[in-house]
Amino acid sequence: MKRARNFNAGPAALPLEVLQRAQNEWLNIEDSGMSVMELSHRSAEFEKIHNHAIQTLKELMEIPENYEVLLLQGGASLQFSMIPMNILKDGKRADYVLTGSWSEKALKEAKKVGETAVVASSKDDTYTYIPKVTDIEMNEDAAYLHITSNNTIYGTQWNEFPATGNVPLVADMSSDILSRKIDVSKFGIIYAGAQKNLGPSGITVVIIRKDLITDNDKIPSMLNYSIHSKNNSLYNTPPTLAIYLLSLVLDWAKEQGGVEKIAEINAEKAKAIYDIIDNSNGFYKGHALYESRSHMNVTFTLPTEEAEKQFLKEVKEAGFVGLNGHRSIGGCRASIYNAVPLSHCQELAAFMKKFQDAYMAKETQTH
């Protein structure tokens, strides 16, 4: 079977080596005589898998001892509610930086819980850039400052994170976690749906500073960080298959040379495609401003709607998957998460160049 060149935005590509290992262990995990999907989540075999995933993530991201790693359900979208429910106290305000649709959705849910404020935004310019950290009008007494580190729909990414002092910095890193080295100690909470860089859909990683985990009997148990922390994320039946695959992806990341090596490859992948855009004389136009470009989601348009339709038709016929832009803005998008091979990005870049040359030659003949 020939593997698709998968540029889907999420659920996204998984490393081939991970899928092959899962296939080999499919019927007999840890010599149990069972598939991982059949294991009790209270069994020693699954507990080993569960704890290995948590420990490997701590190692890869160099997570300090005063942080907890929780493996939860509900996607990053549930965190839009859980975060304010747990740490937005009465009399406090939560500050939000708007850089795209997901930060808008996070703000919408927080408003239902307590007082919020937008302290910086690039909405007026169709989210083509990340606001400068010096332009953030943060309240020094805020409950937290929320950002979305990478914006999948618009193709923008934070290159510098705001220094927030005593205010916890909360980041939705669903689409760029583990893609580059970060200083976890600068954040109060990092959360991420797994289905882009960490594994399959169905599991959400929450990295939270322990002092932000407080007992509050008024919060429903399934939405309470304290409950999940006390139970090692095993308060209820977890998505065991997703956690197992998360564990395998983290092992794969270590085998690649860790986060620093992965970041180097990601930079090469992004450069291959952006170089085609930048040298196309305007045939391909990137949505994001240069200084805010994402290394995870390359968004671009073509000169006309007709050219775009033709490009998307031909690129699909050539074996590339998932190049359509998000339905809300259209255009094209190449999502080049950790598991997308460099060779696939180079092949896409070559296709883009070939398509431009053929299209322009045809246009010249027509006129």
Which ranges of 62-215 does DSSP label H, i.e. alpha helix?
A: 75-87, 101-111
- For residue 241, the tally of other CB atoms under 10 A from its CB is 17
Inter-CA distances, 233 with 47, 111, 184, 200, 217, Å = 11, 27, 20, 18, 18
Active site residue 102: yes
Under 8 Å CB-to-CB from 166, ≥6 apart: which residues? Answer: 140
- The single-letter DSSP state of residue 293 is B
One of 102, 158, 176, 269 is an active-site residue; which one? 102
Q: Check if the beta carbon of residue 303 is closer than 8 Å to that of residue 283.
A: yes
Active site residue 111: no
Active site residue 172: yes
One of 95, 158, 172, 269 is an active-site residue; which one? 172
Three-class DSSP category at 337 = coil
How far is it, in rounded angstroms, from Cα 149 to Cα 124?
19
β partners of residue 209 = 67
* Greatest CA separation for the chain: 73
**Token digits of residue 238:** 């977890």
What count of residues does the chain have? 367
Burial 313-337 (b: 16+ CB within 10 A, else e): eebeeeebebbbbbeebebbbbbbb
One of 95, 158, 176, 196 is an active-site residue; which one? 196
Which positions are annotated as active-site residues? 102, 172, 196
